[in-house]
Each structure stands twice: as structure tokens, then as C-alpha cells.
Amino acid sequence: MGQKRSTFLFSALCFGMAFLYIPMLLLIIYSFNYSKIVPVWGGWSLRWYKVLFESEEVWSALTLSLKIAVMNATFATLLGTLAGLALVRFGRFKGRTLFSGMITAPLVMPEVITGLSLLLLFITMAELIGWPGERGITTITIAHITFSMAYVAVIIQSRLAGMAQDLEEAAMDLGSKPIRVLVDITLPLLAPGMVAGWLLAFTLSLDDLVIASFVTGPGANTLPILIYSRIRLGLRPDINALATIIIVVVTIGVIIAGYLMLRQQKQRERDMQMAAQEVVKLDA
Amino acid sequence: MSQQADNQDRPWLDPDAEPFIKVQGVTKKFGPFTAVDNVDLQIYRGELFCLLGGSGCGKTTLLRMLAGFETPTSGTIYIDGAEMSQVPPYERPVNMMFQSYALFPHMTVEQNVAYGLKRDGVAKADIAMRVSEMLKMVELTPFSKRKPHQLSGGQRQRVALARALVKQPKVLLLDEPLGALDKRLREQTQFELMNIQDQLGITFVVVTHDQEEAMTLSTRIAVMDEGRFVQIGTPTEIYESPDTRFVADFIGSANMFEGRIVENGADHVVVRVSDPRIEFFIDHGMSIKEGTKVWIAVRPEKIKISKNAPTESGANQIQGTVLGVGYLGNLSTYRVQAGSAKVVDVTHPNQSRPKGDRHAVDWDDQVYLSWDPSSAVVLTK
């Protein structure tokens, strides 16, 4: 019985892993394919990497995407943190429930609708006040901020809720005015949440195709828009190369983050064990 | 003159003494719930005052109002003559030690203790000196560069104490200061706390639910229930002369008998109890009408237990059967069936060693219980 179940679990694991990783593996392999027609094997080669690096279009799309992602992440973290603070720490103000409901709406709203409504807003604004005159990097950034801010607010909210309020009260008791408490205590303790929020906002922005294609204008192609428009004309080997590079970068990032987190946790455990052992020694 | 000298340690008895903390008609409501209900309280300089009560009795809310984290719905609070109820916590001459200690996890022990002084704009050299002095007092000098998570529970407690004391507040508020420590550390810390209070002469207000802690620490105790004070007094007063059945039962344990006043003399009162059928003779007069329903409380350790009948028969004694013996080493507790339904608890110090396994009083023994006329307390509510 036990044997049977473990075979079942093992095969389920294998299928799951295969389903997740075989497509990526294929992509990586085909990125080294010499042949111009993707599914036909033409031998190992770095040809498409060379094509990719020589392509002006890809580079400018990548720069645009990174620019938007950084701006978006920074502003979304700022606004999302403020929203989270307002929701958790400012007590019960009028309309709090409405506010907390509305701030999470972008999380559940279909992207198509968010994109469409933002496009309508930009067009109306251009008609009325003449800004934004041209859609592009600014409109995409604004659009991204609106939805990634909601994610940041949720992260900050949950971190704040888990953070005991007595630390802030203690600071106030020791003579800090509320703004000082925010700078000295709340923000340093929120820092990990803000970093997580920034990274999430960055990723969301880098990843977004739907909203960006609604609000973009002539000439402003983000990386996802570029990839999608090229793929529409059929599979292309240089896009495989680009995807492989992205996979490698992400993998390295995840490994570094995981290593740092593990090290920090181990250090913490060691510290706590040391403190406990000292007490035992003193008692003896 | 002599009256004043007598009351130096007991300012609450001196009618001319000015209270240091004055709480007047303070009520705190959270929505429909009244946490603190129109209380008055005077605490004097240098006292170690305990607010004692079960959970939800309003003691913590009252403490938080003293600290400034809550504003009273109505009423006023004076600290050292200044009206405080609308003053924010960062402007009060008061510091608090939190139940959770609330140490800043991103600062070292030193930085934690220095924080309050820094906010007050004390000169750097002064800060360093006062922090190291304070750390020396709580014996944490070797740990000054550590972060809170690198400390044991007892050490964290001392950092919290040092941080709250370093600003030399007029009043130190302590929320369950020993609650998170194990029993041995508690007892040790308890005396340390009293020493520090004695050294610095700062007024301490302690919130606790632990009656033992309150009894050993405090100059006076206020027993709270449902947002009101049930009784305020010294530990001895609270224990030996409780005002109500609630206090008698909450502090220590008490055998409670329900009866009626049958005789009310100038220097004595007699109370007749129906179950078990006994008469209590109390050796002081009371202003109660005959026939009034009262309760008698007798502490278990005030009852004598013996297998021999007392030489005189009469009031303040009953006969019973031992239902159970709890041998605790230094003392034994006995449960004695006295009336048809009444079980009386008696504790007795084990002053002589039992012979072999035979105890002087054992299961199923017929025993006589008796007590002094001054031991029983008459309660009217």
C-alpha cells in the first residue's frame, strides 16, 4: 500500500515537473538551433544570439521596458506603502471599507478592462487638457502604477497587520512624534515588505502585455509587445535566444535571493540558540 | 508631628498629602463597551501601586490612559499637578514597560536604551554615559552590542526596563512586567524590581493579573472588576479584611458561609449559619441590623484541624470527615466534609515529621475544626 502510494506520488511529481520544465528546455535547445525554421534542427550554433545582440529594435524595447519597470516599481511602492499605512494604522476613518475594497479592485479586474478604461481616460484627458499629447512611455508607466500599486498596498497591509503596534507605541512613549515614529520604527521594519513590493511591481510591469498594448502609442514598444508582434508572424529563433537569456537571468536572481534568505535565517537561528545556551550556562 | 512621621511610608493615610497621580471620574468607552467606569484613584509619590484584576477588567485600559495611548471618554488625569488627559504620550513625563517588551528589533541593546534620550536631544556624551550606567544597573553591559533576538527572555525584560528608566520618568508604568518569565526568574526579578524602585524613588504603577506578584511587589493594590475598583488597600488589608466576596475569593482562597446576624452586641456579633449548623462568634461590633443576610469568609490557613475535641464547646467550631489530603511537603491541605453539602478547605503547616507514612490527620478521620473569633470576616456583599 505504502509502496503503491509512493509510486503514484513519484510519477505525479515527474509528470508535473515535465509539464513545467520541458517547454522551457525545448525553448533553450531551439535557441541554439542553426536553422531558420524553428522546428527543424540545423545543428548547434550561437547564430541567433548574434542576430539578437545586433538588433537595435530589441535593445530599445528592453531599455524601454526596464525604464518603465523601475519608475513603476518606485512610484507604486511609494503610493502602495502610503495606502497600506492609511488602511492599517490610521484607525477607522470614514469610508475606510470602501477605500480598502477599491484599492484591491485592480487585483481582480480583468486586464483588458483596466487597459481599455485607462486608454479611454488618456484619450479624454488629451481632448480636454491636451495632456498626454502622445501616448508612450508616460502613459504605460501611469497605467502600470495604477495596478501594481494595489499589489504593493496588499503586501504592506499584511506586513503591517502582523507587526505589533506596541513597537510604535513604545517609540511614542519614549518621546517620538508620529512622523518620527514612522521614520525611526515603522519604515525600517517595513523595509523587507517594501523591497518585496518593489520587486513584485518591477516584475509585473516587465511582464505586462495587455495593458501596455492598450495604452502605448506609436514607436513605444516594450519587450513583451515586441516579442508578441514578432511571434504573430510565426516562431522566430532570435526570440528563442532572447527568452533563454531571460530565463537564465531570472534563475540566477532566484538562486541569489534564496541563498541570501537562507543565510539570514540560519544566522538568526544560531543567534537565538546562542542566547538560550548562555542562560543554561549561567544557571549551571 | 508624630502623626506625620508615622505616615511617612504610608502617605495615603495622611489627609494633607498631595497625590502624585490623581484620576478623577475617568470613564473609557469603546463603542457600547465600557472598559473603565467612572473611577477615582490617588497614587502618591514613590509608591509601587498595583492594578490587579482578571482579563478584561479594565486595568490595562487605565494604564494606557496614564501613558496617553487612550484618551478618557470623560474625566481627568493629573500627574504631578498637571492635567494630562489630552497630552500626547510623547509629551508625558511617563514611560512604560510593555508586556511584550516592544524592543526595537533593528537596533542593538545600546541603541534601544539610548532611543528616548536621543529624541529628547540630550548631548551625545551624556547619552553614552547614562546608557552605560543604566546597562550596568541591569547587568547587561557585556550585551550592549547585541540585537534583541540574540538575548534570552530575562535579558530582554531588563533591556525594556532600562529603556523605560533611562529617561528618569516621574512615573514608570509596567504592563505585566513578569508575565513572560518562568517561575524562578520571576521571583528573582520581582525583588530586583523592588530594589530598583527603592533606589530611584520613581513611582511605579504595575498592571498584573497575578495576585502573588501584586502581594509581594506593591505598597498598595487596587482590585478591579468590570471597569471599577472593588477595593483599594495595602496587601495586608486586601488579604485580611476584604470588603467583598469577590475580593476574598480573588486574592487567595476563602471558605465562604452564608448566614444571618442573630446577635449584635457592642463588642461582638454572632452569625448563625445553617449548613453546616454553626455559630460564628466575631469579636468586634458591627453596624448591621439583626437578621441581615451576610457571608462569612475564613481563610484555610486560619482554621485549626485536630482529631481531639476542643476543651470548650460552643461557637467557632465544627466537626467533619476528611475527604482528601494534599501533601505539599511544607504544608498539607485538607478537604473536610462539614455540613450536608459544605466542604471546608484547611491548610496546615507540617511542623513535625510524619511517622513513616502515617500522617497526623489522614483520609476518613473524624476531625474538629476551630478558629479564633478574630479570624472570620463578615461580608455584606
Same-domain check for residues B76 and B194: yes
Q: Which of B:193-232 have CB within 8 Å of A? A: none
- Which chain B residue's Cα is nearest to A167? B102
Helix (H) or strand (E) holding A137: helix A137-162
Q: Nearest CA of chain B to the CA of A173: how many Å? A: 5
- Which chain B residue's Cα is nearest to A274? B150
Same-domain check for residues B204 and B260: no
∠ Cα A150 A178 B111 (to 5°): 105
Same-domain check for residues B175 and B189: yes
Same-domain check for residues B135 and B272: no
Extract the C-alpha cell encoding A184. 525611526
Extract the C-alpha cell encoding B78. 493629573
What pLDDT score was predicted for residue B239? 92
- Please indicate whether, in this complex, the C-beta atoms of A173 and B90 are within 8 angstroms of each other: yes
- Transcribe A4-29 into DSSP letters: HHHHHHHHHHHHHHHHHHHHHHHHHH
* Amino acid, res. A151: Y
3-state secondary structure of B199: helix
Nearest to B262 by CA among B234, B290, B298: B290
Q: Using H for helix, E for strand and C for coil, what is the string for B103-121?
A: CCCCCCHHHHHHHHHHHCC
Domain count for chain B, please give it: 2
- Please indicate whether, in this complex, the C-beta atoms of A271 and B89 are within 8 angstroms of each other: no
Same-domain check for residues B100 and B160: yes
Q: Is A143 left (phi over 0), alpha (psi -120 to 50) or beta?
A: alpha
Residue B277 sits in a domain whose CATH number is: 2.40.50.100
- Which chain B residue's Cα is nearest to A178? B90
- Please indicate whether, in this complex, the C-beta atoms of B120 and A175 are within 8 angstroms of each other: yes
- Report residue B2's pLDDT band, with 50, 70 and 90 as the boundaries: very low
- Expressed in angstroms, the distance from the first to the final Cα of chain B is 38
What pLDDT score was predicted for residue B132? 94
pLDDT digits (tens, 9 = 90+) for A209-235: 999 999 998 888 999 999 999 888 887
Nearest to B115 by CA among A166, A172, A187, A160: A172
A278 touches chain B (CB under 8 A): yes
Q: Number of A:B CB contacts under 8 A? A: 73
Please name the member of A175, A268, A278 whose beta carbon is closest to the beta carbon of B116: A175
Domain that holds residue B146: 2-247
Same-domain check for residues B167 and B38: yes
**Sequence-distant contacts of A166-169: CB under 8 A, at least 24 apart:** A166/B98, A166/B99, A166/B100, A166/B102, A167/B102, A167/B104, A167/B105, A168/A89, A169/B67, A169/B69, A169/B89, A169/B96, A169/B98, A169/B102
In this model, does residue A2 exceed pLDDT 70? no
Q: Which chain B residues are within 8 Å of A173, Cβ to Cβ?
A: 67-69, 89-90, 94-96, 164
In this model, does residue B6 exceed pLDDT 70? no
Q: Which chain A residues are within 8 Å of B116, Cβ to Cβ?
A: 174-175
Q: Which chain A residues are within 8 Å of B119, Cβ to Cβ?
A: 174-176, 180
- Transcribe B284-349 into DSSP letters: S-----TT-EEEEEE-GGG-EEESSPPSS-SSSEEEEEEEEEEE-SSEEEEEEE-SSS-EEEEEEE
Q: Nearest CA of chain A to the CA of B166: how many Å? A: 10
Please name the member of B67, B104, B154 whose beta carbon is closest to the beta carbon of A173: B67
- Please indicate whether, in this complex, the C-beta atoms of B151 and A171 are within 8 angstroms of each other: no
ipTM for the predicted complex comes to 0.83
> For chain A, what are the domain ranges?
59-237
Where among B231, B247, B263 does a domain terminate?
Answer: B247
What pLDDT score was predicted for residue A4? 64
- Which chain B residue's Cα is nearest to A180? B119
In this model, does residue A282 exceed pLDDT 80? no
In this model, does residue B230 exceed pLDDT 60? yes
Annotate B115-151 with b (16+ C-beta within 10 A) or e (fewer).
bbbbbeebeeeebeebbeebbebbebeebbebbbebb
In this model, does residue A189 exceed pLDDT 50? yes
- Please state, in angstroms and rounded to a whole number, the distance separating the CA atoms of residues B12 and B49: 12
In this model, does residue B206 exceed pLDDT 90? yes
Where among B210, B232, B247 does a domain terminate?
Answer: B247
B120 touches chain A (CB under 8 A): yes
Same-domain check for residues B295 and B177: no
Q: Which of A:156-175 have CB within 8 Å of B? A: 164, 166-167, 169-175
- Please state, in angstroms and rounded to a whole number, the distance separating the CA atoms of residues B299 and B254: 5
Same-domain check for residues B196 and B273: no
Same-domain check for residues B223 and B292: no
Same-domain check for residues B114 and B191: yes
Interface test with A, best of B152, B170, B205 (most A CBs within 10 A): B152
How many Å separate Cα B138 from the centre of its chain?
A: 25
- Please indicate whether, in this complex, the C-beta atoms of A173 and B95 are within 8 angstroms of each other: yes
Same-domain check for residues B120 and B239: yes
- Please state, in angstroms and rounded to a whole number, the distance separating the CA atoms of residues A164 and A132: 44
Nearest to A66 by CA among A165, A185, A207, A183: A207
pLDDT digits (tens, 9 = 90+) for A86-141: 888 877 778 888 888 888 888 888 999 999 999 999 999 999 998 888 889 999 99
Backbone angles phi, psi at A269, to 5 degrees: -60, -40
Same-domain check for residues B200 and B334: no
A92 touches chain B (CB under 8 A): no
pLDDT digits (tens, 9 = 90+) for B89-141: 999 999 999 999 999 999 999 999 999 999 999 999 999 999 999 999 888 99
User: Sign of the C-alpha dihedral, residues A65, A68, A73, A79?
Assistant: negative
In this model, does residue A280 exceed pLDDT 80? no
- Please state, in angstroms and rounded to a whole number, the distance separating the CA atoms of residues B90 and B97: 14
pLDDT digits (tens, 9 = 90+) for A17-38: 999 999 999 999 999 999 888 8
Q: Do the Cβ atoms of B20 and B44 come closer than 8 Å?
A: yes
Backbone angles phi, psi at A78, to 5 degrees: -60, -55
CA distances from A97 to A91, A94, B28 (A): 11, 8, 25
A36 touches chain B (CB under 8 A): no
In this model, does residue B38 exceed pLDDT 90? yes
Q: Nearest CA of chain B to the CA of A231: how many Å? A: 49
- Please state, in angstroms and rounded to a whole number, the distance separating the CA atoms of residues B149 and B133: 23
What pLDDT score was predicted for residue B1? 40
Where among B213, B247, B281 does a domain terminate?
Answer: B247
- Which chain A residue's Cα is nearest to B173? A173
Residue B156 sits in a domain whose CATH number is: 3.40.50.300
Q: Nearest CA of chain B to the CA of A280: how many Å? A: 10
- Please indicate whether, in this complex, the C-beta atoms of B167 and A175 are within 8 angstroms of each other: yes
* Amino acid, res. A125: M
Q: Which chain A residues are within 8 Å of B68, Cβ to Cβ?
A: 173
Q: Among residues of chain B, what percentage have pLDDT more than 90?
A: 53
B189 touches chain A (CB under 8 A): no
> Is domain A59-237 classified as CATH 1.10.3720.10?
yes
